[in-house]
Amino acid sequence: MNDRLHRLGVSERDLDERFARSGGHGGQNVNKVSTCVLLTHLPTGLTVRVETERTQARNREIARDRLADRLEARERDRRAAAKHAAELTKRQKRRPSAGARRRNVERKRRRGEVKANRRRRGDHE
C-alpha cells in the first residue's frame, strides 16, 4: 500500500481495482495482457486510469500515486474553502470603522437631499 494513501486514511478496503487491456505502444504485451489499471476510491468516487507503462505492477504504483495526489488536492481545496468562509464571516461581523460610519451617514444625508429635491413644492408641506 502506498504510504501517502495510508497517511490520508485510505485502506485497501476503500479501493476498487480493475484491470483492462491497454492500448498504444508496447507491442504484443499490451495487446494480450491486461496492464491498464482502473483504481476507484469508493468513499469519494474518484477514479484514476493508468496505462502508461508496459507492466501492470508499475501501472498500479502510478495509479496509487495519482489517486493520492487527487485526494490531497481535494483535502487542500476543502481546507481553503473553510478558511475562506471563516474569514468572510469574520469580515462581515466586524463593526465598520468610525470613518466608514461617518461616510455612510454623509451618503444618506446627500441621498435624502436628492430625493427631497425631486418632490413637488406642495407635497411635503
**The domain made up of 3-70 is a member of CATH 2.40.50.140:** no
* Contacts of 78 by beta carbon, 8 Å cutoff, 6+ apart: none
24-81 pLDDT tens trace: 776 777 678 888 999 999 999 999 999 888 889 999 999 999 999 999 999 999 999 9
C-alpha cell at 98: 468610525
Element at 15 (helix H, strand E): strand 15-20
Residue 53 — φ and ψ, nearest 5°?
-105, 165
Domain segments of the chain as ranges = 3-70
Neighbours of 27 (CB within 10 A): 8
**pLDDT of 11 strictly over 60:** yes
Tell me the CB-side half-sphere exposure of residue 13, using CA atoms within 13 A.
1
pTM of the predicted structure, to 2 decimals: 0.70
